Structure 1
Amino acid sequence: MKPILINADKRLAVTRASRPGDLLHTPKGTSIRLVSVLGEGGEGAVYETNMPYVAKVYKPEKTTSHKLVKIQAMASAGVKFPGICLPLAPLYNSRNEFVGYLMEKADGVKIRTLYQKPLLQKKFPHWTKRDLVELCVTILEKIECLHRKGIVLGDINPDNILVKTPREVYFVDCDSYQVAGYPCPVGTIPFTPPELQNRGHYDSYLRTVGNENFAVAVLLFSLMITGQMPYNQKGGVSAQQNIIDMDFSYPLGESSNKKTPNGPWRFLWSHLPRFLKDAFYNTFNKGGNYSVESKRLSTFDWLKKFKEYLRLLDSGKLGEQDEMSTWIYPTRFKKQKGVVYVKCPYCKNDTDQSWINEKGACIECLRKRRLARQRSYGNPRVLQESKVQSPLNVLPDFLYRLFG
């Protein structure tokens, strides 16, 4: 955590709120007319303009000296990377008052949409695991570009990245980025590293690239284990305390805290390549090789790993080993060499032959059937259990460890 070495932020005077039809201008005198409102938020509104760009115009009470200096710094940073919607130029009204900035148009859905299976399948019905991996590569390339220019995003979160295709991705709300010694004033707990939890307001310190590398890893994890954060777990304490304690709930071989959250997340984890599970485990687990600020994997390191993952998917090797490794939502653990698999006649999943009963049902179907039978008798304990515990999570621990 670095101290702030700049002057205090100050409100800038704006005599009137901007509205459609107003004529604004850039420092070079280019006229920009506001046409119509595309969207509104807490800070202001985004407008269609008479140019192939859009304008973000702040509410009068939101224009400050820090915003102006940051926008000037970003506009002069020379970042030319498609989809990074950094300010292109500050905008002024007819009284020469700073009111906002010009930026590239953005399109797509928020990454948060991908966290919910029904929404993901509705928006991108033909996506496979390959699309998610390629999306991660695209995001990493953009963050790597910003880091090379000395810009720290600060507020990496699933609402500030829009997705149209795996290769067409837009970073928005870029005016909050940390640049030229000016902090990013916002953030969220799940993307804040352990060393910065409970350290005061986000605008009271500067974040390092090492701090940001934690947030990058969280974003990647949330896309691979779709919709889950690395420190979500069943039981235990708060997610924030889990981050501080670095109590990671996904296994690596024999190492596991046995707190993986209810749901199909164990299946998604088991189908990741071992080198990726190793990277996540050693980033999020206390004492891991990449668990401290100075040793975290960089965006360049993650890029190499995700490009290798993409290569394995494109080569067909992962699909040959197990077709479900190409699915976004596999419905069982990854197949293991030397194990004989048979198809369960009820759920149609290939299952380890040793887990099948004399009627051919797999262990998951047996658990579901047991819970359904007990629910039909109105057992209160089972009714409550069925609400909070998936049959996936009552598998013997030794079976789970096989797929860590």
Structure 2
Amino acid sequence: MSDTFFANGKKMILGPLLGKGGEGAVYNISGSSDIAVKIYNDGKAPERHEKIVAMVAAGLSKTSAHVAYPLEVVTKQNGKFAGFTMKKAAGFKTVHDLYGPGSRRAEFPTADVRFLVRAAYNLSAALASIHKSGCVVGDINHSGILVSTQALVTLIDSDSFQFRSNSRTYRSLVGVAEYTPAELQGVSFENTDRTTNHDAFGLALLLFQLLFLGRHPYSGRYLGGGDMDIKTAISQRRFAYSARRSETRMEPPPYVPALDDFGDEVRDAFELAFSRKAEAGNGRPSPVDWVGVIDRLQSNLVICGIDRSHHYHKSKASCPWCKLEQGIGRSLFAAQLVTPTSMANIGEIIAQISRISSPPRPPSAENIMPSMRDLKVSDAAKSKKSGRAMSMVAALAGCGVGLYVAATFQGLVGIIIAGASLMYFFSVKGDEGPFAAELKASTTEWNNQRQIWEKRAGPEQFEEKKAHYLRLASAHAGLPQREKEKLAELERKKRDLQMRKHLESHLLDRAKVAGIGPGRKATLASFGVETAWDVKSRRITNIPGFGPTMQEKLRKWSKSVEHKFVFNANIPTDPQAIREVKNDIAKHRAELERDLIKAPDDLRRLVYEATRLRENPPPELVAAYRRMKQAELDSGRNA
């Protein structure tokens, strides 16, 4: 192929190849640092000719800085249409490299949670600008979206956008099933006009992947029979993270953020975007809607007190990322740990803890209760006692009558009457009624409240807490030795570490494994399987859709990567592994110090609370005592 082409009559010479696809190839232009050119394959050029001419004529490149729109029509020396020039996205990488934790470590090593949120904001703004220009992306998926190291977003492949010029609509003819809304699953795109609401589905899906560690929102564990692939889950509206679990019959994979970790507004926006009711009209949150939602999210983010790479919604009681990393067993972002407190300060804190004395043992709870002289037998108890006395008198009278009858008239009949009367007498006498049950219940409640009070008003609760803080202090003192042991273990396992790094560098998304296409790779990523190391070290058996055959294919691929490994004893211990050990120790130190710093005030508070409880018994304790004393009066036990 000739390397000479023309744009607006100006000669251009192709530079190095930038990328190649099914439609053609993208090249640098010699002498130009910021413009690239797409040259179509000979069979594709005629199909694109009119559309590209119309897009250039419409001046779309002036409508958005976020899109690599066609700038100029490019022709061959013979004047035939060949392609178009466009803005070059230098230094940008695919959005998949950002949202996948495995690839993010390599491609965006300094990205933190705030960076992901900013990229989500910029993606929403980019799509909003596309819709404002009158275009619809149509084939919206991760491969056409690029992100810079400043979280700026650029969309490429604009020649596949749906575009209307005069009376003609140039449709978007392709689509990726894993990003296609339910209402378009199985539909021929050649005969279908895409809408901004269709784009809104793909946008919501990409935003979800950015915020939720690359997880696909329709990949999870199906609670019905059989497996559920992503395409089927989309067509059946089975959003795996939805609160409507009885309807979707899906649950999320393990070790993922919760849907409300980014706040209620973000949660509600995703629920709406992936709901059936949003399919009609413009029911889904639009790109402009998302710009507002994510802008407010950015304003509501707070920094984790342990790791500054963690940012979370201020409505959450604690950092969800710390909890998630503890469950997974590895960092999801490059740790930015809080500066530790000096050992001298920690020593003073521990000395303060040791100097604080326990509260004295509390007095008997009964001795500090207020007077209950105002208590009287209740009207119900009086009525019950009166009725009981009358019944007993009547029973004795009946017994007397029975004995008289037995002695005077009919012996057997009299004995029966006397016996029945005696039985009734003793049953009435032994009937303690509801007041005995109330006495039992109130006594139990009093004992419970008394035990709670004694624990808080005396030394027990204080000593438990003090012992807890002293254990933390002991753990803190042992951290240097623990770090030393872990680093020594790294040196002993140098070969294993080199093997792991080798396997982690081979991403499943970039590999060709027979029978495992984009949909299955998305499912694997949703369950945290992204690299050859993940395949080797994680259980694949519990992932939906991966039976023995698929598991064997993955194992063979992982083994093939493993066989290429060559150990080099002369290479120093992996610096990344050393950093991970040091970060793990530093994070543990920060967690311990966070608790130890508040220990003296916490213990003083417990001492003060114990004193206050001894001097002023709490209302619930007094109420329990009063209830028990009333029950004693009503049941006659206090007579």
Cα distance change, pair 206–147 in 1 and its aligned pair in 2 (3 A): same
Residue 199 of structure 1: how far off its partner (Å): 1.4
Q: Which amino acid aligns with 1:84?
A: V
Q: 1:297 aligns with which of 270, 273, 285?
A: 285
**Which residue does the alignment assign to 2:42?**
60
Cα distance change, pair 172–252 in 1 and its aligned pair in 2 (3 A): same
**Which residue does the alignment assign to 1:374?**
none
Q: 2:214 aligns with which of 213, 221, 227?
A: 227
Counting helix residues as a fraction of each chain, which structure ranks higher? 2
* Residues 264 and 331, structure 1, Cα contact 8 Å, conserved in 2: no
Q: Which amino acid aligns with 2:208?
A: F
Residue 82 of structure 1: how far off its partner (Å): 2.5
**Which residue does the alignment assign to 1:382?**
none
Alpha-carbon distance between aligned partners in 2 of 1:207 and 1:226, rounded to the nearest angstrom: 28
Cα distance change, pair 387–59 in 1 and its aligned pair in 2 (3 A): closer
Residue 332 of structure 1: how far off its partner (Å): 6.3
Q: 1:133 aligns with which of 107, 117, 121?
A: 117
Alpha-carbon distance between aligned partners in 2 of 1:276 and 1:246, rounded to the nearest angstrom: 19
**Which residue does the alignment assign to 1:170?**
154
Alpha-carbon distance between aligned partners in 2 of 1:324 and 1:332, rounded to the nearest angstrom: 13
Alpha-carbon distance between aligned partners in 2 of 1:203 and 1:328, rounded to the nearest angstrom: 47
2:268 pairs with 1:278? yes
Residue 77 of structure 1: how far off its partner (Å): 3.0
Cα distance change, pair 42–77 in 1 and its aligned pair in 2 (3 A): same
Alpha-carbon distance between aligned partners in 2 of 1:323 and 1:110, rounded to the nearest angstrom: 32
Alpha-carbon distance between aligned partners in 2 of 1:216 and 1:178, rounded to the nearest angstrom: 16
Alpha-carbon distance between aligned partners in 1 of 2:52 and 2:324, rounded to the nearest angstrom: 41
Which structure 2 residues correspond to residues 315-326 of structure 1 after superposition, within 5 A?
Answer: 318=313, 321-322=316-317, 324-325=319-320
* Residues 154 and 187, structure 1, Cα contact 8 Å, conserved in 2: yes
Q: In structure 1, the residue corresponding to 2:313 is in which secondary structure? A: helix
With the length of structure 2 as denominator, give the TM-score of the two structures: 0.46
Alpha-carbon distance between aligned partners in 2 of 1:322 and 1:134, rounded to the nearest angstrom: 23
Residue 35 of structure 1: how far off its partner (Å): 2.4
Q: 2:175 aligns with which of 172, 177, 187?
A: 187
Q: In structure 1, the residue corresponding to 2:69 is in which secondary structure? A: coil
**Which residue does the alignment assign to 2:232?**
241
* Residues 145 and 153, structure 2, Cα contact 8 Å, conserved in 1: yes
**Which residue does the alignment assign to 1:264?**
255
Which structure 2 residues correspond to residues 5-404 of structure 1 after superposition, within 5 A?
Answer: 18-20=1-3, 22=4, 24-26=5-7, 28-49=8-29, 50-51=31-32, 52-65=34-47, 67-79=48-60, 80=62, 81-107=64-90, 108-180=92-164, 181-200=169-188, 202-235=189-222, 236-252=227-243, 257=248, 259-265=250-256, 267-287=257-277, 290-313=278-301, 318=313, 321-322=316-317, 324-325=319-320, 331=326, 387-389=540-542
Alpha-carbon distance between aligned partners in 2 of 1:249 and 1:331, rounded to the nearest angstrom: 23
Residue 76 of structure 1: how far off its partner (Å): 2.8
Q: In structure 2, the residue corresponding to 1:214 is in which secondary structure? A: helix
* Residues 130 and 326, structure 1, Cα contact 8 Å, conserved in 2: no
Percent of pairs with identical residues: 26
Residue 247 of structure 1: how far off its partner (Å): 1.5
Q: Deviations over 1:221-252 (max 9, x none)?
A: 11111212221121343322221221112133
Q: Deviations over 1:304-361 (max 9, x none)?
A: 001111111269883684553577965569xxxxxxxx99x9xx9xxxxxxxxxxxxx
Residue 140 of structure 1: how far off its partner (Å): 1.2
Alpha-carbon distance between aligned partners in 2 of 1:188 and 1:62, rounded to the nearest angstrom: 20
Residue 257 of structure 1: how far off its partner (Å): 4.4
Superposition RMSD in Å: 3.0
Residue 387 of structure 1: how far off its partner (Å): 4.1
Residue 291 of structure 1: how far off its partner (Å): 4.5
* Residues 44 and 58, structure 1, Cα contact 8 Å, conserved in 2: yes
**Which residue does the alignment assign to 1:361?**
none
- Structure 2 unaligned residues grouped into runs of 5+: 304-310, 329-467, 476-537, 544-639
Q: In structure 1, the residue corresponding to 2:27 is in which secondary structure? A: strand
Cα distance change, pair 389–237 in 1 and its aligned pair in 2 (3 A): closer
Q: In structure 2, the residue corresponding to 1:159 is in which secondary structure? A: helix
- Structure 1 unaligned residues grouped into runs of 5+: 1-17, 334-341, 349-384, 391-404
Residue 86 of structure 1: how far off its partner (Å): 0.8
Residue 100 of structure 1: how far off its partner (Å): 0.7
Alpha-carbon distance between aligned partners in 2 of 1:317 and 1:40, rounded to the nearest angstrom: 40
Q: In structure 1, the residue corresponding to 2:242 is in which secondary structure? A: coil
Residue 19 of structure 1: how far off its partner (Å): 3.5
Residue 113 of structure 1: how far off its partner (Å): 1.7
* Residues 161 and 172, structure 2, Cα contact 8 Å, conserved in 1: yes
Alpha-carbon distance between aligned partners in 1 of 2:186 and 2:260, rounded to the nearest angstrom: 33
Alpha-carbon distance between aligned partners in 2 of 1:317 and 1:230, rounded to the nearest angstrom: 20
How many residues are paired up?
A: 318
Alpha-carbon distance between aligned partners in 1 of 2:323 and 2:53, rounded to the nearest angstrom: 42
* Residues 153 and 174, structure 1, Cα contact 8 Å, conserved in 2: yes
Q: In structure 1, the residue corresponding to 2:269 is in which secondary structure? A: helix
Alpha-carbon distance between aligned partners in 2 of 1:61 and 1:101, rounded to the nearest angstrom: 16
**Which residue does the alignment assign to 2:610?**
none
Residue 264 of structure 1: how far off its partner (Å): 1.3
**Which residue does the alignment assign to 1:376?**
none
Q: Which amino acid aligns with 1:187?
A: G
Cα distance change, pair 102–387 in 1 and its aligned pair in 2 (3 A): closer
Q: Deviations over 1:43-73 (max 9, x none)?
A: 22111113341111111111124x1222122
Alpha-carbon distance between aligned partners in 2 of 1:317 and 1:324, rounded to the nearest angstrom: 6
* Residues 129 and 328, structure 1, Cα contact 8 Å, conserved in 2: no
Q: In structure 1, the residue corresponding to 2:221 is in which secondary structure? A: coil
* Residues 252 and 278, structure 1, Cα contact 8 Å, conserved in 2: no
